Structure 1
Amino acid sequence: MHPSTLHPSTLDPSTPAPDLILYGGKVITVDARSTVSEAVAVTGDRFSAVGRDRDVLARAGPDTRCVDLAGRTVVPGFIDAHFRLLDRALAQLHGADVSLAESVADILDAVRDTARRLPAGAVVTSNAGWYPYMLKEGRAPTREELDRAAPHHPVVLSGEFRYLNTRALERFDIRRTTEQPEYGWIEKDPDTGEPTGVLMGDAALLTRGAHTDPPPAVKQEALVWALNRCAAAGVTGVREGGLDPADLTYYQKLAENDALPVRVSVQLGMSTAPPVEEILAGLEQFPGVNPFPSDDHRLRVDRVGYLFADDDYHRMDVTPAIRGQRVPADRVNRYFRDRCCPLEKIERIVTGMAERGFSGGILAGGDVAIDKVLGVLERANAVADLTDRRWVLSQVVYPRPEHHRRMRALGVVLTPMWHHHHYYPALAHYHGVDFAQTMDPFRSLRAAGIPVGLGSDISKIPLNYFEALFYLHTRQSRRWGPVNPEEALSREEALRMLTIDNAYVTFEEDVKGSIEPGKLADLAVLSADPLTVPADRITSTRVLLTLVGGRVVHRAADTGPDALRPTEKGREA
């Protein structure tokens, strides 16, 4: 760590007095020199000074609000590089919250509680965020258990697959005689032929109407709720990893009304089901520049197109054979209509995007898929230079050392997920423990000079981002011991992955992601110092205050009047 310093530009006496000064704390700037300071000043929506208390406080004017941090720690606001926020918000706010459940009993309790709140006959839905292998029982709830939990309600439970009770099978007319859909799979008992209640892939579309296409007001309500919960978690920026273009309007409405509590960057989704010519023609509605022209860092579109080279853990393109596969082998590549397409088609789409000046993102989790995708990008790069467009490789669970040179040459950006802290058992189940223990080699990637951001892509809102710091630093899973511990990062490296490195993902590293004069004043005040608190207490750290552009978007209930108290020079922030 470098000692506290004051940026030279802040010493100019002609500059306006700050609107706000936070002093008497530990300001972890995450700048290039890893500077740790005592105070930070905000003028307008930007940081205007960072340095020692006496130097920064000397800039205060009669109207400057000066707030004593009383030793608390300030960090740049967290940025999530891949979070399907609107989708997750709808599922959680209007259904049973079963994400990160620890047992079948937990799930059944959540279903039971939701059923009590709904009139008889109403469909009980849920969010996802769990795998059977995470649960103490090592299995999913059965149809009969869901029947007992909600005897008067159809249940459509989301998780690794879609799980229905008997009333839901009846409601959506799914029977022994129901034909298998073109994509996906209806699981049926091999002896009786009766549906087990488990729908895989696009078979879940048979429940259309349970919780799809909600009214616009419901979507807007869910989005506002989710954004405010993110702010309470210290998040100042969210990147939607694959948003339906039609849903962009919900974010635009909030931005137009200056009602976005956190900054949002969007990668627009893209179905690969239509013909390639139709897909590429659809890009004509967008500017051929990446990111799309905008000086507004509240809401921006950074890329268009989210392609799938592989997918869920049970369909991941990895070296070992997938174990415990419940989907029939002939359906693995006919699972989701809008994202199951051969690599040759992906290459034609990527090459066409490169020729038109776009970049996008490709989900490639398995080592084999990563290798194939790098080949696609290399061939597209030979047609149209894309080395400065920061194509995103998402998930990237199992990158290999032989991929490093190719990644650097292509200028790709990786957005892996930290949710393996929770989901490790699923990967160990499908890929075997030995192979699963090679996942998430973040230390090696960073040492190789490859830009690596970090996403969550989980269903729980809000997330505890201190669990991400804990996992990156200790490599301990939630309950299942260490995961590839040789790849552990220092705490500062982990914090960088959740802040400035994620600003790089959205082409915004010069304007946000660290606490430096001239950058957007996005920060979080914490209850403990994540760089020094005992490792087993990292996850207990709380966010006391969140600022976005110098504006308070979250204040914990116990932060006043005796906490974060202003001095006599100004009013409380």
Structure 2
Amino acid sequence: MPKIRPSRAAVAPAAGYLAALGLVACAEAPREAADLVLVDGEILTLGATGVVEALAVADGRVSATGTSEEIRMLAGPDTRVVDLGGRTVIPGLTDNHYHGIGGGPGVDLTGARSMADVVDAIAAVALETAPGELIVTNRDWHEGQLAEHRLPYRDDLDGAAPGQPVVVVRGGHEYVLNSAALARWGIDESTPEVPGGRIGRYPDGRLNGELVDRAKDLVTLPAAAPPDPAATLDALAEEYAALNARGLTSIRYPGGPPEQYRAIARLRDAGRLTLRVNYVLRAPRGAGAPPLDEALATWPAMGEGDAWLRVGGAKLGVDGGFEGGLMREPYEEPWGEGGTFHGLQTLPTERYIETVRELHRQGWRVATHAVGDAAIDLVLDGYEAANADAPIDGLRWVIEHGFIPREEHFSRMRALGLSVTAQNHLYVAAPSLVKYWGADRAAWTTPVRAYLDAGIPVSLGTDSPVIPWDPWWMLHHFTTRGTISAGVLDPAQAITREEALRAVTSGYAHLTFEEEEKGTLEVGMAADLIVTAEHVLECEDPCLESMEVDLTLVDGRVVYER
């Protein structure tokens, strides 16, 4: 029978005194009543305790685990008792790469499922927009959700809003412009290519409206009006409440401005933060001194913060996204370039390595966006250069995404003590990736099974809003390799549900140096947990994709209840 395990805080004061009397083995420290107890369930602690029936929470921590009979004894007159009725409890979910819940203002394309839907949505807004006024879409969508599995190009957009400039924003790496928008910014067939960017063309050489990565710099979208500070906090609180409702208790921003960090700090200071945030600052594009020095002067300090909000490092990028990952071998779709397109290097090699070394010298932990295998080559070169200055093993530097690792990468990653953040891009983008890279490379995308087998620490996330933010879609993908419109790709890279749960709980805690505080539901750990409507390990596929959350606790406090 499992024994009650009192919290470390409760035991420690009495333990030394009792040890002096030789009574530790036969005496217990008195315990205060729990704040909340969960009984008659199946609690997956994901720690040495294994599976237990019941759990008690006190002062924001798991204070005891055991049988329902044992844990009920810890309830006092003010204790809330939750009868689970056999339901499952797991540690709270996390997202290792979260930009935001939505795609920003503009024409909403989230519900579009065909090219006609995209055209109709833009046309409807055009009817209400003054002639010549710019129309911009949101970015919370992907062409993989469309029946045609392709982007809306220049000619499609011309039909949606004749004569009006239109910019379709797709994720964080691409714009698509119609003819009026191309003319507005003076972009035509004679415009030279932008280093680190790509100007898309139709097969006949005409511009198709695509501007990828650094080519987006040719367009200057109107700056949004400065948000009202109170409205900013309200919007953040509403956003985090939605995340809580799907079981998220911790998120990590993978490269943002200091202004956003300070807004989250204000929310925390007001007592309104309902999940834990690890915040990584985005290094400037012109990385290297003096732009880096100027940025660092405005940043909070590395490691600043507390258990609710902490600075986790600095983010760099060396290649594009789906449409621009830097590859050793050329893309399958040549875009009129004769099969010589290898993707985009968005930061020159020397500047990247210089920046990594300087960040390391100043005590910053580095995370780098790298999609293609050639990009991973570059990141490892840069990290090894920094390691030669002073060891980084133990600092858990990060490769963000790591879509296409090669076998020889794994030993180099292990030698440097790196972590990899994996996201479920393939779930939505599979048709595009097959078109860009061919079936074999696309199927290998984000091979979590291979990473785990190679001993590389992995955590999981979504890259929202590039990919929808629901963590259960992400768990479904990594445990099945299923996609929304291209079937199952390389099922050999699927991981078990328990492995996925560990990656999204204790794996995340390892990423953020919090493994002593959260990630399991052992005694003494933070009471960040959720109650699910179905058994996460035993329900029948595709149950994870639509899993309901009944209760979410963060720091022992109920932040969502269905």
8 Å contact from structure 2 (residues 92, 248) kept in 1:
yes
Q: Does 1:367 align with 2:380?
A: no
Alignment of 1:444-455 (within 5 A): 444-455=450-461
Q: Secondary structure of the equivalent of 1:302?
A: strand
1:251 equivalent in structure 2: 264
- Bigger Cα displacement from structure 2, 326-335 vs 134-143: 326-335
8 Å contact from structure 2 (residues 330, 339) kept in 1:
no
1:215 equivalent in structure 2: 227
* CA distance 1:61–1:439, change in 2 (3 Å): same
1:553 corresponds to which letter in structure 2? V
Q: Does 1:408 align with 2:419?
A: no
1:569 equivalent in structure 2: none
Note the alpha carbon deviations across 1:270-313, whole angstroms, 9 max, x for none: 01315435425643666775xx144x211111112x11222223
Specify which of 190, 193, 198 is matched with residue 210 of structure 2.
Answer: 198
Q: Secondary structure of the equivalent of 1:276?
A: coil
Note the alpha carbon deviations across 1:525-545, whole angstroms, 9 max, x for none: 211111111012221211122
* CA distance 1:437–1:524, change in 2 (3 Å): same
Q: Does 1:7 align with 2:23?
A: no
1:30 equivalent in structure 2: 46
2:79 equivalent in structure 1: 64
1:378 equivalent in structure 2: 384
Q: Secondary structure of the equivalent of 2:388?
A: helix
1:436 equivalent in structure 2: 442
Distance in 2 separating the partners of 1:156 and 1:373: 32
2:22 equivalent in structure 1: none
* CA distance 1:225–1:124, change in 2 (3 Å): farther
Q: Does 1:272 align with 2:294?
A: no
* CA distance 1:220–1:197, change in 2 (3 Å): farther
8 Å contact from structure 2 (residues 331, 342) kept in 1:
no
Distance in 2 separating the partners of 1:364 and 1:177: 30
Q: Does 1:41 align with 2:56?
A: yes
Q: Secondary structure of the equivalent of 2:475?
A: helix
1:571 equivalent in structure 2: none
2:330 equivalent in structure 1: 321
Q: 1:253: Cα distance to partner?
A: 1.6
2:147 equivalent in structure 1: 136
Distance in 1 separating the partners of 2:135 and 2:49: 49
* CA distance 1:275–1:142, change in 2 (3 Å): closer
1:310 equivalent in structure 2: 319
1:298 equivalent in structure 2: 308
Q: Does 1:503 align with 2:509?
A: yes
Specify which of 478, 492, 496 is matched with residue 484 of structure 2.
Answer: 478
- Bigger Cα displacement from structure 2, 392-401 vs 119-128: 119-128
Distance in 2 separating the partners of 1:267 and 1:284: 15
Q: Secondary structure of the equivalent of 2:369?
A: strand
* CA distance 1:165–1:219, change in 2 (3 Å): farther
Distance in 1 separating the partners of 2:385 and 2:553: 44
Alignment of 1:97-112 (within 5 A): 97-99=108-110, 101-111=112-122
Distance in 2 separating the partners of 1:191 and 1:325: 13
Q: Secondary structure of the equivalent of 2:396?
A: coil
Note the alpha carbon deviations across 1:319-345, whole angstroms, 9 max, x for none: 32113244979998997xxx8222222
Q: 1:266: Cα distance to partner?
A: 0.4
8 Å contact from structure 1 (residues 128, 159) kept in 2:
yes
8 Å contact from structure 2 (residues 481, 491) kept in 1:
yes
Distance in 1 separating the partners of 2:435 and 2:467: 26
8 Å contact from structure 1 (residues 233, 462) kept in 2:
no
- Bigger Cα displacement from structure 2, 470-479 vs 323-332: 323-332
Q: 1:394: Cα distance to partner?
A: 0.6
2:15 equivalent in structure 1: none
* CA distance 1:328–1:201, change in 2 (3 Å): farther
* CA distance 1:257–1:288, change in 2 (3 Å): closer
Q: 1:220: Cα distance to partner?
A: 4.5
8 Å contact from structure 1 (residues 415, 455) kept in 2:
yes
* CA distance 1:109–1:551, change in 2 (3 Å): farther
Q: 1:249: Cα distance to partner?
A: 1.9
- Bigger Cα displacement from structure 2, 322-331 vs 480-489: 322-331
- Bigger Cα displacement from structure 2, 174-183 vs 400-409: 174-183
* CA distance 1:503–1:110, change in 2 (3 Å): farther
Compute the TM-score of the two structures, normalised by the length of structure 1.
Answer: 0.84
* CA distance 1:205–1:351, change in 2 (3 Å): closer
Specify which of 233, 244, 258 is matched with residue 246 of structure 2.
Answer: 233
1:322 corresponds to which letter in structure 2? Y
Q: Does 1:156 align with 2:162?
A: no
Q: Does 1:349 align with 2:355?
A: yes
- Bigger Cα displacement from structure 2, 244-253 vs 147-156: 147-156
* CA distance 1:200–1:21, change in 2 (3 Å): same
Higher RCO (CA-CA < 8 Å; seq separation 6+): 1
8 Å contact from structure 1 (residues 314, 325) kept in 2:
no
2:20 equivalent in structure 1: none
* CA distance 1:187–1:293, change in 2 (3 Å): closer
2:553 equivalent in structure 1: 547
1:81 corresponds to which letter in structure 2? N
8 Å contact from structure 2 (residues 144, 428) kept in 1:
no
Note the alpha carbon deviations across 1:213-243, whole angstroms, 9 max, x for none: 6534565454333222211211111100001
Q: 1:163: Cα distance to partner?
A: 2.4
* CA distance 1:50–1:328, change in 2 (3 Å): farther
- Bigger Cα displacement from structure 2, 354-363 vs 11-20: 11-20
8 Å contact from structure 1 (residues 230, 462) kept in 2:
no
Q: Secondary structure of the equivalent of 1:350?
A: helix
8 Å contact from structure 1 (residues 100, 129) kept in 2:
no
Q: 1:148: Cα distance to partner?
A: 5.0
Distance in 2 separating the partners of 1:324 and 1:133: 16
Distance in 2 separating the partners of 1:505 and 1:333: 31
Distance in 2 separating the partners of 1:314 and 1:361: 21
In the alignment, structure 1 segments of 5+ residues that lack a partner are: 557-573
Q: 1:62: Cα distance to partner?
A: 1.2
Q: Does 1:263 align with 2:261?
A: no
In the alignment, structure 2 segments of 5+ residues that lack a partner are: 12-27
- Bigger Cα displacement from structure 2, 366-375 vs 238-247: 366-375
Q: Percent identity?
A: 34
Distance in 2 separating the partners of 1:222 and 1:147: 34
8 Å contact from structure 1 (residues 19, 43) kept in 2:
yes
